[in-house]
Amino acid sequence: MRRAKIRISRFNPDIDKTPYWQEYQVPWEKGDTVLGALIYIYEELDPTLAFRFGCRYKKCGLCAVEVEGRPRLACLAGLKKEMEVSPLRNLPIARDLAIDRGFFYHRLAELKLYIPEQESMKWPAVIKEGIQHKRLIGCVECLSCLSACPHYDYRDTTFGGPYLFVKLAQLHFDSRDKIDRRFQARTLGIERCKGCRYWGRCVPCTSGIPIFKDAIRPLS
Protein backbone atom coordinates (compact mmCIF):
# COMPACT_ATOMS: atom_id res chain seq x y z
CA MET A 1 0.00 0.00 0.00
CA ARG A 2 1.24 3.47 -0.88
CA ARG A 3 1.73 5.96 1.91
CA ALA A 4 1.34 9.72 2.01
CA LYS A 5 3.33 12.16 4.11
CA ILE A 6 1.21 14.84 5.78
CA ARG A 7 2.59 17.73 7.85
CA ILE A 8 0.10 19.20 10.28
CA SER A 9 0.28 22.46 12.19
CA ARG A 10 -0.05 21.71 15.90
CA PHE A 11 -0.85 24.20 18.65
CA ASN A 12 -2.23 23.81 22.14
CA PRO A 13 -2.66 27.29 23.66
CA ASP A 14 -2.45 25.81 27.17
CA ILE A 15 1.11 24.57 26.74
CA ASP A 16 2.56 25.87 23.42
CA LYS A 17 3.93 29.35 22.84
CA THR A 18 3.79 29.08 19.03
CA PRO A 19 2.46 26.58 16.47
CA TYR A 20 4.79 23.84 15.21
CA TRP A 21 4.71 21.23 12.47
CA GLN A 22 4.31 17.51 13.09
CA GLU A 23 4.68 14.91 10.36
CA TYR A 24 2.66 11.72 9.91
CA GLN A 25 2.57 8.94 7.34
CA VAL A 26 -0.81 7.51 6.40
CA PRO A 27 -2.12 4.89 3.94
CA TRP A 28 -2.88 6.46 0.59
CA GLU A 29 -5.23 5.07 -2.05
CA LYS A 30 -6.99 6.68 -4.99
CA GLY A 31 -9.95 8.77 -3.85
CA ASP A 32 -8.70 9.29 -0.30
CA THR A 33 -9.37 12.70 1.24
CA VAL A 34 -7.57 14.94 3.70
CA LEU A 35 -10.38 14.38 6.20
CA GLY A 36 -9.93 10.64 5.88
CA ALA A 37 -6.24 11.07 6.64
CA LEU A 38 -6.97 13.19 9.70
CA ILE A 39 -9.43 10.61 11.02
CA TYR A 40 -6.85 7.85 10.45
CA ILE A 41 -4.21 9.83 12.35
CA TYR A 42 -6.60 10.43 15.26
CA GLU A 43 -7.80 6.81 15.44
CA GLU A 44 -4.55 4.98 14.71
CA LEU A 45 -1.58 7.26 15.41
CA ASP A 46 -2.29 10.24 17.62
CA PRO A 47 -5.52 10.73 19.60
CA THR A 48 -4.35 14.18 20.73
CA LEU A 49 -4.86 15.70 17.26
CA ALA A 50 -7.73 18.21 17.33
CA PHE A 51 -9.88 18.99 14.27
CA ARG A 52 -13.56 19.36 13.45
CA PHE A 53 -15.89 17.52 11.10
CA GLY A 54 -19.56 16.61 10.92
CA CYS A 55 -21.34 15.44 7.80
CA ARG A 56 -18.20 14.36 5.83
CA TYR A 57 -19.75 15.66 2.60
CA LYS A 58 -19.82 19.42 2.02
CA LYS A 59 -22.88 20.16 4.12
CA CYS A 60 -21.70 21.27 7.56
CA GLY A 61 -18.60 23.37 6.80
CA LEU A 62 -16.90 22.25 10.01
CA CYS A 63 -13.89 20.55 8.42
CA ALA A 64 -12.53 23.65 6.64
CA VAL A 65 -8.73 23.92 6.92
CA GLU A 66 -5.84 25.32 4.94
CA VAL A 67 -4.49 22.70 2.53
CA GLU A 68 -1.20 23.75 0.97
CA GLY A 69 -1.98 27.32 2.00
CA ARG A 70 -5.46 27.39 0.47
CA PRO A 71 -8.79 27.18 2.33
CA ARG A 72 -10.49 23.88 1.53
CA LEU A 73 -13.10 21.54 2.92
CA ALA A 74 -11.06 18.58 4.16
CA CYS A 75 -13.87 16.19 3.19
CA LEU A 76 -13.46 17.16 -0.48
CA ALA A 77 -9.72 17.88 -0.69
CA GLY A 78 -7.92 14.94 -2.28
CA LEU A 79 -4.99 13.40 -0.45
CA LYS A 80 -1.61 13.71 -2.20
CA LYS A 81 1.79 12.13 -1.68
CA GLU A 82 3.01 15.08 0.38
CA MET A 83 0.84 17.77 1.93
CA GLU A 84 0.73 20.49 4.56
CA VAL A 85 -2.44 21.13 6.54
CA SER A 86 -2.97 24.08 8.88
CA PRO A 87 -5.92 25.88 10.51
CA LEU A 88 -7.80 28.67 8.76
CA ARG A 89 -5.92 31.96 8.89
CA ASN A 90 -7.21 35.21 10.41
CA LEU A 91 -9.27 33.25 12.96
CA PRO A 92 -8.63 32.29 16.61
CA ILE A 93 -7.23 28.79 17.12
CA ALA A 94 -8.91 26.63 19.73
CA ARG A 95 -6.38 23.83 19.27
CA ASP A 96 -4.41 22.39 16.33
CA LEU A 97 -6.69 22.56 13.25
CA ALA A 98 -9.83 23.53 15.17
CA ILE A 99 -10.71 27.21 15.19
CA ASP A 100 -12.74 28.86 17.93
CA ARG A 101 -16.11 29.56 16.31
CA GLY A 102 -17.57 31.24 19.37
CA PHE A 103 -16.42 34.69 18.31
CA PHE A 104 -18.70 34.86 15.26
CA TYR A 105 -21.70 33.38 17.03
CA HIS A 106 -21.51 36.42 19.30
CA ARG A 107 -21.27 38.73 16.27
CA LEU A 108 -24.34 37.17 14.71
CA ALA A 109 -26.31 37.60 17.92
CA GLU A 110 -25.30 41.26 18.23
CA LEU A 111 -26.17 42.09 14.61
CA LYS A 112 -29.58 40.38 14.69
CA LEU A 113 -29.23 38.99 11.19
CA TYR A 114 -32.73 37.61 10.88
CA ILE A 115 -36.12 38.76 9.62
CA PRO A 116 -37.87 40.46 12.56
CA GLU A 117 -41.42 39.40 13.33
CA GLN A 118 -44.07 42.06 12.88
CA GLU A 119 -47.72 41.59 13.77
CA SER A 120 -48.89 43.65 10.81
CA MET A 121 -46.75 41.70 8.35
CA LYS A 122 -48.53 39.10 6.27
CA TRP A 123 -46.31 36.53 4.62
CA PRO A 124 -47.14 35.57 1.04
CA ALA A 125 -48.53 32.08 0.54
CA VAL A 126 -45.66 31.33 -1.86
CA ILE A 127 -42.20 32.85 -1.48
CA LYS A 128 -40.32 33.09 -4.76
CA GLU A 129 -36.55 32.91 -4.47
CA GLY A 130 -34.41 34.73 -7.00
CA ILE A 131 -31.34 33.02 -8.41
CA GLN A 132 -28.98 35.14 -6.29
CA HIS A 133 -30.82 34.25 -3.10
CA LYS A 134 -30.73 30.57 -4.02
CA ARG A 135 -26.96 30.73 -4.47
CA LEU A 136 -26.40 32.69 -1.27
CA ILE A 137 -28.31 30.30 0.97
CA GLY A 138 -25.90 27.59 -0.19
CA CYS A 139 -23.38 29.00 2.30
CA VAL A 140 -22.30 26.22 4.70
CA GLU A 141 -20.64 28.69 7.10
CA CYS A 142 -17.23 27.07 6.79
CA LEU A 143 -15.57 30.53 7.22
CA SER A 144 -13.03 29.80 4.48
CA CYS A 145 -13.83 33.18 2.92
CA LEU A 146 -12.64 34.92 6.10
CA SER A 147 -9.40 32.97 5.99
CA ALA A 148 -8.74 34.06 2.40
CA CYS A 149 -9.80 37.71 2.82
CA PRO A 150 -6.71 40.00 2.94
CA HIS A 151 -8.57 42.64 5.00
CA TYR A 152 -10.17 40.40 7.59
CA ASP A 153 -8.98 39.98 11.18
CA TYR A 154 -11.36 38.60 13.79
CA ARG A 155 -10.03 41.12 16.33
CA ASP A 156 -11.11 44.05 14.12
CA THR A 157 -14.82 44.57 14.74
CA THR A 158 -15.03 47.48 12.26
CA PHE A 159 -14.90 45.11 9.27
CA GLY A 160 -17.47 42.35 8.93
CA GLY A 161 -15.71 40.41 6.21
CA PRO A 162 -17.18 38.35 3.36
CA TYR A 163 -19.03 35.90 5.60
CA LEU A 164 -21.15 38.60 7.23
CA PHE A 165 -21.70 40.29 3.86
CA VAL A 166 -23.05 37.01 2.50
CA LYS A 167 -25.40 36.77 5.49
CA LEU A 168 -26.59 40.34 4.87
CA ALA A 169 -27.08 39.65 1.17
CA GLN A 170 -29.20 36.60 1.99
CA LEU A 171 -31.57 38.95 3.81
CA HIS A 172 -31.25 41.70 1.19
CA PHE A 173 -32.61 39.36 -1.49
CA ASP A 174 -35.32 37.89 0.76
CA SER A 175 -38.65 39.48 -0.18
CA ARG A 176 -39.87 39.26 3.43
CA ASP A 177 -37.08 41.42 4.82
CA LYS A 178 -37.68 45.19 5.03
CA ILE A 179 -34.48 46.29 6.82
CA ASP A 180 -31.89 48.37 4.94
CA ARG A 181 -29.12 45.79 4.66
CA ARG A 182 -26.97 48.13 2.52
CA PHE A 183 -26.78 50.56 5.42
CA GLN A 184 -25.91 47.69 7.75
CA ALA A 185 -23.14 46.60 5.37
CA ARG A 186 -21.69 50.11 5.36
CA THR A 187 -21.56 50.10 9.17
CA LEU A 188 -19.58 46.86 8.87
CA GLY A 189 -16.98 48.44 6.59
CA ILE A 190 -17.99 47.10 3.18
CA GLU A 191 -16.57 50.29 1.61
CA ARG A 192 -13.14 48.93 2.49
CA CYS A 193 -13.66 46.24 -0.13
CA LYS A 194 -13.37 48.84 -2.91
CA GLY A 195 -9.70 49.29 -2.11
CA CYS A 196 -9.02 45.56 -2.18
CA ARG A 197 -6.68 44.09 -4.79
CA TYR A 198 -9.31 41.39 -5.37
CA TRP A 199 -12.05 43.92 -6.20
CA GLY A 200 -14.27 42.37 -8.86
CA ARG A 201 -13.09 38.85 -8.08
CA CYS A 202 -13.19 38.60 -4.29
CA VAL A 203 -12.19 35.48 -2.40
CA PRO A 204 -13.04 31.91 -3.47
CA CYS A 205 -15.99 30.15 -1.84
CA THR A 206 -15.96 26.41 -1.13
CA SER A 207 -19.68 26.29 -2.03
CA GLY A 208 -19.15 28.12 -5.32
CA ILE A 209 -20.96 31.31 -4.30
CA PRO A 210 -19.74 34.29 -6.40
CA ILE A 211 -19.23 36.48 -3.33
CA PHE A 212 -18.45 39.69 -5.21
CA LYS A 213 -21.31 39.34 -7.70
CA ASP A 214 -23.98 38.19 -5.24
CA ALA A 215 -22.99 39.93 -2.00
CA ILE A 216 -20.31 42.64 -2.22
CA ARG A 217 -21.57 44.46 -5.33
CA PRO A 218 -25.32 44.49 -4.41
CA LEU A 219 -24.55 45.80 -0.91
CA SER A 220 -21.93 48.39 -1.94
Average pLDDT, the chain: 91
**Confidence bin at 118 (pLDDT 50/70/90):** low
Among candidate residues 103, 104, 101, the one with its CA nearest the CA of residue 164: 104
Four-point Cα dihedral 205, 168, 60, 20, nearest 10 = 60
25: pLDDT strictly greater than 70:
yes
Tell whether pTM > 0.85: yes
The CATH architecture to which 102-219 belongs is Orthogonal Bundle (1.10)
3-99 to CATH, choices 3.30.70.120, 1.10.10.10, 3.55.50.30, 3.10.20.30: 3.10.20.30
**Is the sign of the CA dihedral 23, 44, 13, 156 positive or negative?**
positive
* pLDDT tens track for 28-71: 999 999 999 999 999 999 999 999 999 988 889 999 999 999 99
Which segments of the chain belong to CATH 3.10.20.30? 3-99
**Confidence bin at 170 (pLDDT 50/70/90):** very high
